[in-house]
Amino acid sequence: MLDVKLIRENPEKVKAGVAKKKVDPKLVDKFLRLDEEWRVKTKALDDLAAEQNAISREMGQNQSQDLLSKAQLLKQRITDIEAERDVLSSKRDDILNKLPNLPFDDVPLGKDESENKILREVGKKKNFKFKPKDYLTIAEKLGIVNVKKATEIAGSRFGYLMGDAALLEFALVRLAFDTLVKERFTPVVPPVMITPTVYREMGRLAADQKEDKYYLPKDELYLVGSAEHTIGPLGRGEVFEASSLPKRFVGFSTCFRREAGSYGKDTKGILRVHQFDKVEMYSFVDPENSEREHKFLLSMQEKLVSALELPYRVVEICTGDMGWTDARQFDVETWMPGQGEAGEYRETHSCSNTTDFQTRGINAKYKTKDGKKEFLYALNATGFAIGRILIAIIENYQTEDGGVEVPKVLRDYLGKDKIE
RNA sequence: GGAGGGGUCGCAUAGUGGCCUAGUGCGCACGCUUGGAAAGCGUGUAUACCGCAAGGUAUCGAGGGUUCGAAUCCCUCCCCCUCCGCCA
């Protein structure tokens, strides 16, 4: 959530920021009005409570009828005003929940993904001597992806990874973990369910985000959309020593997404599915180092994609296309030669600086040099999203005979050079 | 899932309706003392909100209730421990 003090002290800045993210800036004015009323009520209530405490204390000594009736009257007033305050309080919180994190000033302005800024293209696209096929055609023929059966068993947007595709998943996970553990990321396998309370604290239950989550009403738990959602809360209520920063985690989890609002989009295959596995990075840093850490996480992503020798490009996401919790976001888009007419870059990774938007919610702090406790900054980044990186591998490494070469770096993990 | 026991300040503990404005010990910080240290002594030691400030309010696992007043009584839930059941 946003800092209430910032909204009060610098409403114009907040309005400008949320507007860049296509959120109605009038919400800010609405918040300020409610906040002001809330503050007045709170003050009145505190004063009455002080009075009540004084009378109660006195009654400990002297139980006069006079005092008692005074106290009873006071109690009624407090109950009434409390009810009013609670209404204001929840209205105020609702609006706060509708305000996204503010983009940094130098994030490219734009309304949607068409205005994202391509920062660089890396790697050489292979020159195929034949027309490259799309991954699904290849994978189904090899029998390593089965979407038809999955649809029968679980519905649309599910898939089986079989045989070497299943093995490839674990090879990719090992590659990512081995690479990142060397960089002192702490490996973690987190829960894939999360309480509404913590999910909200992580800034992931804003009204329009809710629709994309699976919810288990009987247990009042959500299924996570990313390991990020349950790794971040490792810092919940903690105060880290400045010397222990950055704190880096690399997690593996299954991710669940309802993909509501993407009807008709990428309906075939395993590019966009309800369930996939992902390796995820998460960092806690002090504010001064967040931009540096952001670049570092991005460099880790590039290292991983480069290790697979896949061509990719790095994109800075414009304000209108950014994630809810993000102040700056980069995506890595990997080349997929079998997509579209002549190949396409498709998003395989994203990398976000969420500043203190999440840490304020989960109350994750660090101790500064002069002993003060301040909110940490948090960042998250994809390691490998298995389905999508699998697609990139299959399409880039396909051979004319319908097989798939195994990227060199995965051969030892997989124990073979080629899938056929 | 069933039965019982528990959750209090960083840690450990006291606290069965008003003297709790949560005590004590340990730890920690600062000061005194010392050549230096230890011990000793003294002072301090949470978070959030409201307020320019003085100060006030809230928080004893969470939420509700009873009461003029709740750490304390009642209800619901969560978590931990012991035993039973089930299970990878």
Report the distance from CA of residue A372 to the C1' of nucleotide B25 in Å, as an integer.
28
- Shared domain for A91 and A133, answered yes or no, is no
- Shared domain for A315 and A202, answered yes or no, is yes
Q: For residue A70, which nucleotide's C1' is closest to its Cα?
A: B68
Q: Is the CB of A239 under 7 A from strand B?
A: no
Report the distance from CA of residue A261 to the C1' of nucleotide B29 in Å, as an integer.
56
- Shared domain for A82 and A155, answered yes or no, is no
pTM of the model: 0.93
Q: Which residue is nearest to nucleotide B68 (CA to C1')?
A: A71
Q: Is the CB of A71 under 7 A from strand B?
A: yes
**Between residues A24 and A64, the one the model is more confident about:** A24
Q: Is the CB of A74 under 7 A from strand B?
A: yes
pLDDT value of position A336: 97
Q: Is the CB of A47 under 7 A from strand B?
A: yes
For residues A240-261, give the mean pLDDT: 91
Rounded to whole angstroms, the Cα distance separating A357 from A100 reads 8
Report the distance from CA of residue A217 to the C1' of nucleotide B1 in Å, as an integer.
19
Residue A106, CB-side half-sphere exposure with 13 Å CA sphere: 1
pLDDT value of position A265: 81
B/e letters for A142-161, b = 16+ CB within 10 Å, e = fewer, are bebbbbeebeeeeeebbbbb
The total domain count for chain A is 2
Q: For residue A46, which nucleotide's C1' is closest to its Cα?
A: B57
Side-by-side strand order, sheet with A373-375:
A239-241, A365-367, A373-375
3-state secondary structure of A131: coil
- Shared domain for A201 and A264, answered yes or no, is yes
Percentage of residues in chain A having pLDDT higher than 70: 100
- Is residue A249's pLDDT more than 90? yes
Is residue A108 domain-resident? Answer: no
Confidence at A164, pLDDT banded by 50, 70, 90: very high
Q: Which residue is nearest to nucleotide B29 (CA to C1')?
A: A371
pLDDT value of position A9: 92
Q: For strand B, which nucleotides have at least one atom less than 7 Å from a protein CB?
A: 18-19, 21, 47-51, 55-58, 68-69
Question: Which residues span the domain enclosing A66?
Answer: 4-96
Of A residues 342-371, those with CB within 7 angstroms of nucleic strand B are: none
Select from A48, A70, A96 the last residue of a domain: A96
At residue A199, what is the residue type? Y
Q: Is the CB of A127 under 7 A from strand B?
A: no
ipTM of predicted assembly, 2 dp: 0.84
Is residue A107 domain-resident? Answer: no
Q: Is the CB of A189 under 7 A from strand B?
A: no
Is residue A101 domain-resident? Answer: no
Q: Is the CB of A218 under 7 A from strand B?
A: no
Is residue A105 domain-resident? Answer: no
- Shared domain for A90 and A120, answered yes or no, is no
Rounded to whole angstroms, the Cα distance separating A379 from A12 reads 26
Task: Compute the Cα dihedral for A72, A78, A80, A83 and give only its sign.
Answer: negative
Contact (CB, 8 A) for A150 and A139:
no
Is residue A409 domain-resident? Answer: yes
- Shared domain for A157 and A212, answered yes or no, is yes
- Shared domain for A187 and A276, answered yes or no, is yes
Confidence at A291, pLDDT banded by 50, 70, 90: very high
Q: Is the CB of A111 under 7 A from strand B?
A: no
pLDDT per position as a tens digit, A338-396: 999 899 999 999 999 999 999 999 989 888 877 788 899 999 999 999 999 999 999 99
CATH number of the structural domain spanning residue A263:
3.30.930.10
- Shared domain for A405 and A269, answered yes or no, is yes
Q: Is the CB of A193 under 7 A from strand B?
A: no
Contact (CB, 8 A) for A385 and A278:
yes
Q: Is the CB of A56 under 7 A from strand B?
A: yes
- Shared domain for A283 and A367, answered yes or no, is yes
pLDDT per position as a tens digit, A10-24: 999 999 999 999 999
3-state secondary structure of A114: helix
Q: Is the CB of A63 under 7 A from strand B?
A: yes
Report the distance from CA of residue A199 to the C1' of nucleotide B76 in Å, as an integer.
23
Select from A96, A126, A153 the last residue of a domain: A96
Pairing mode, if any, of strands A275-285 and A365-367? unpaired
Min mean pLDDT across A82-91, A124-133, A274-283 is at A82-91
Q: Is the CB of A49 under 7 A from strand B?
A: yes
Select from A33, A63, A96 the last residue of a domain: A96
- Shared domain for A90 and A218, answered yes or no, is no
